[in-house]
Chain A
Amino acid sequence: MTRLDADLGHIRAANPRRGIRSWTLISTRIFRVHWMLLIGAAIFSTIALTLLVTPWIAPFDPSSQNILKRLASPSAAHWFGTDQLGRDVFTRVLYGGRFSVAMAAITLILCAVVGTIIGAISARAGGAADELLMRLVDLLVAFPDVVIALFLISVFGPGYGTLIVALTITGWTPFARLMRGLTLEVNTKEYIEAAEALGCSRWFIIFRHIIPNTLGPIFAISFLRFGHKLITVGALSFLGLGVQPPNSDWGAMLADARNFMDRMPWLMITPGLAVFITALSVTLIGKGIELERNRGRDENASSPYLK
């Protein structure tokens, strides 16, 4: 063993920041991520995996009715009981989750893509175009999501397509605002100027320079917005404008359960809890990413070696 090896062997012991003091530190030391990110990711991946394999693991057919077993309390056979048509609630929560989560994820991704591109274009264009786009954002923000969605659905009729389009139209604005701010920041970097001086096209600059350098915060806000999307999708289904029977999602289940709320509370609690836990887990991921980024920034703030 050379002197170098011997010396470096002591680094671990000598660094006063090294001691493992709590489980949050276990998270940061072993997995090298913030505990919120770790827990959120663990819960959400469990949920996602369960929803993915639902057709194989669900104990019942989600639409098979059994009038004899209407409104049964939770039991070994029916973990969450049955609903007013005798359908297994556990099975329906799983199938409903497939719709809810998929719908929220799809609209979220669309919103992020649309908002990011519009925000970047707006900031790069500047002047009147920028002004116009930002006023459009203000206008859209002024109306509640659900109102605009209701309007679109009343025009084009309910269905997945309309739902996705409606939620995208109402949902891209926060991304556009954030992206515009981030782009203005990146715009001051000399590599953008260098790219312009080299004659790179505006699309090259947006897609190869600006978006890669702003992806971190966009990623974080995407996770933070997921819960919001899940609840909006639920709200529209609750109003009968989302998925149509016999399919169902968590919002529709909540709507159906309203009439039996006092007698059969679990009909309401289970889909509600599902929304809550899923939204929470994804929010934890978003928060974790954000904290992780800030932690990196704090440490880098002291270091000239900005990554």
Chain B
Amino acid sequence: MTSIVLNAKKEVGAVQLAEPILDIRNLNVGFARNRLIAIDALDLTVRRGEIVALVGESGSGKSMTALTAMRLLPVGAGIISGEVRVHGRDLLALPPSAMNAVRGREIAMLYQQPKIMLDPTATIGRQIAEPLQIHRGLSLKDAWPHVIEALRDVGIPEPERRAMSYAHQLSGGMAQRVMIAAALSASPDILIADEPTTALDVTVQAQILKLLVRKRDEASLAVLLITHDLMVVSAIADRVAVMYAGRIVEEGETRAVLRSPRHPYTQALLRSSLLAAEEDGRLYAIPGSASAARGLSCGCRYHPRCQAARSLGIEERCRSQEPSLSTASASPGHQSRCWGVQVTAGGMQ
């Protein structure tokens, strides 16, 4: 098992050459009413057959990134600038009607709470048939065998019976499988999975992740996996981007970022996610809260919570100037947005 994954990772060079499916360029999204920039100058590329993880605490802008790509922004949110290219075509420039043809067909999405997203009044079979009816013009009757097959494919036991049941009768794991079946039923090229396993148990999580990996390999699916769980990232992601307050603060190959995180936020996130007792018997929790970054318009957005800035004595610079993404280690594409890293790197040179 491990060897298979390692092989996949060895091919990273080849994956890098694969065609970009989703290409987000300099995306800025905000809420005018709250005077909030939710996504700040985000660049992100997901290539064919690649799983890119986007990690960060809630509120860091992960879901907004996903919703922008789907052109399903909540009321009040607006795109300030940027492009979301799928196969080179900017989705943000499409008329809404054209977007309906793209959703489900080229780009599909999974949600954290599949049960809320499933229609409580329709059988799950009907809901999986819907993309087939819309995009392939099949009748419900003709779509039905595909529905059963799709349910079986995502590992639903007794698919014929389950197809007739309703969302409330499903466990969270089953509902997420149903969502995957529905999302993939019209064979999109990129799947955006917004915390797809956060509410599930571990063996189910491992299976869903395995399912995503299988889909990546079988269908050369590009996956943007949004999560806050670094264990999930370490298990399946080819690359990872760490997000904080709307910005990418660290980015690179999974192994490089998780083995030798350079940004203080990535380090803290890794430490708190282990849930291992510290010397005082309590758990390590990142000090302060992400809301501290609200309303900051200059400097590093992490500086109100950053201990490294204090210990390195570079608080003044951190407060006044925002660092740019810069090379963090020898690993290709490993970048971080931190003065501290640049100082120590500069010191080493």
Q: Is any CB of A less than 8 Å from a CB of B in the complex?
A: yes
Binding site for B on A (CB under 8 A): 2-5, 7-8, 10-12, 14-18, 185, 188, 299-306
Shortest C-beta distance, A50 to chain B (Å), equals 36
CB-CB nearest in chain A for B94: A16
Those of B18-48 within 8 Å (CB) of chain A: 28, 30, 32, 35, 37
Tell me if A303 and B80 are in contact (CB < 8 A): no
Q: Mark B263-275, 1 if CB is under 8 A from A, else 0.
A: 0000000000000
Contacting residue for B80 out of A2, A8, A301, A304, CB 8 A: A8
Q: Provided the pairs A8-B80, A302-B67 are in contact, do residues A188 and B75 lie with their beta carbons within 8 angstroms?
A: no
Shortest C-beta distance, B65 to chain A (Å), equals 13
Shortest C-beta distance, A128 to chain B (Å), equals 23
Tell me if B30 and A8 are in contact (CB < 8 A): yes
Shortest C-beta distance, B33 to chain A (Å), equals 9
- Chain B contacts for A2, CB-based, 8 A: 297
Complex Cα distance, B296 from A2, in Å, reads: 11
Shortest C-beta distance, A193 to chain B (Å), equals 13
- Chain A contacts for B94, CB-based, 8 A: 16
Q: Provided the pairs A7-B37, A8-B35, A16-B92 are in contact, do residues A302 and B70 lie with their beta carbons within 8 angstroms?
A: yes
Shortest C-beta distance, A194 to chain B (Å), equals 17
- Chain B contacts for A15, CB-based, 8 A: 78-79
- Chain B contacts for A304, CB-based, 8 A: 63, 111-113, 194
- Chain A contacts for B297, CB-based, 8 A: 2-4
Complex Cα distance, B324 from A15, in Å, reads: 27
Shortest C-beta distance, A14 to chain B (Å), equals 5
- Chain B contacts for A8, CB-based, 8 A: 30, 32, 35, 37, 78, 80
Contacting residue for B116 out of A4, A299, A306, CB 8 A: A306
Contacting residue for A11 out of B63, B80, B120, CB 8 A: B80
Tell me if B72 and A14 are in contact (CB < 8 A): no
By the criterion of a CB under 8 Å from any partner CB, how many residues of chain B are at the interface?
30
Listed residue (A5, A11, A303, A306) with the most chain B CB atoms within 10 angstroms of its CB: A11
Tell me if A14 and B113 are in contact (CB < 8 A): no
Complex Cα distance, B72 from A203, in Å, reads: 39
5 closest A-B pairs by CB: A302-B72, A11-B78, A303-B74, A15-B78, A11-B32
Complex Cα distance, B319 from A32, in Å, reads: 41
Shortest C-beta distance, B298 to chain A (Å), equals 8
Shortest C-beta distance, A278 to chain B (Å), equals 32
- 10 additional contacts (CB under 8 A) given A10-B80, A305-B74: A7-B28, A14-B78, A16-B93, A16-B95, A16-B96, A300-B74, A303-B67, A304-B63, A304-B111, A304-B112
Complex Cα distance, B121 from A185, in Å, reads: 9
Shortest C-beta distance, A189 to chain B (Å), equals 11
Tell me if B117 and A301 are in contact (CB < 8 A): yes
Tell me if A299 and B75 are in contact (CB < 8 A): yes
Q: Mark B113-147, 1 if CB is under 8 A from A, else 0.
A: 10011001000000000000000000000000000
Complex Cα distance, B73 from A277, in Å, reads: 38
Q: What are 7 A-B residue pairs whose CB atoms fall within 8 Å in the complex?
A: A4-B297, A8-B32, A8-B80, A14-B81, A302-B70, A304-B111, A306-B116
Shortest C-beta distance, B331 to chain A (Å), equals 33
Complex Cα distance, B78 from A16, in Å, reads: 9
Complex Cα distance, B71 from A17, in Å, reads: 10
Tell me if A302 and B96 are in contact (CB < 8 A): no
CB-CB nearest in chain B for A302: B72
Complex Cα distance, B117 from A7, in Å, reads: 32
Tell me if A303 and B116 are in contact (CB < 8 A): no
- Chain A contacts for B32, CB-based, 8 A: 8, 11-12
B168 part of interface (Cβ distance < 8 Å): yes
- Chain A contacts for B70, CB-based, 8 A: 302
CB-CB nearest in chain A for B195: A304
Complex Cα distance, B92 from A7, in Å, reads: 17
Listed residue (B30, B80, B96, B168) with the most chain A CB atoms within 10 angstroms of its CB: B80
Shortest C-beta distance, B81 to chain A (Å), equals 6
- Chain A contacts for B73, CB-based, 8 A: 302-303
Complex Cα distance, B74 from A300, in Å, reads: 7
Tell me if A17 and B96 are in contact (CB < 8 A): yes
Contacting residue for B37 out of A4, A12, A301, CB 8 A: A4
- Chain A contacts for B96, CB-based, 8 A: 16-17
Listed residue (A8, A18, A188, A305) with the most chain B CB atoms within 10 angstroms of its CB: A8
Tell me if A14 and B79 are in contact (CB < 8 A): yes
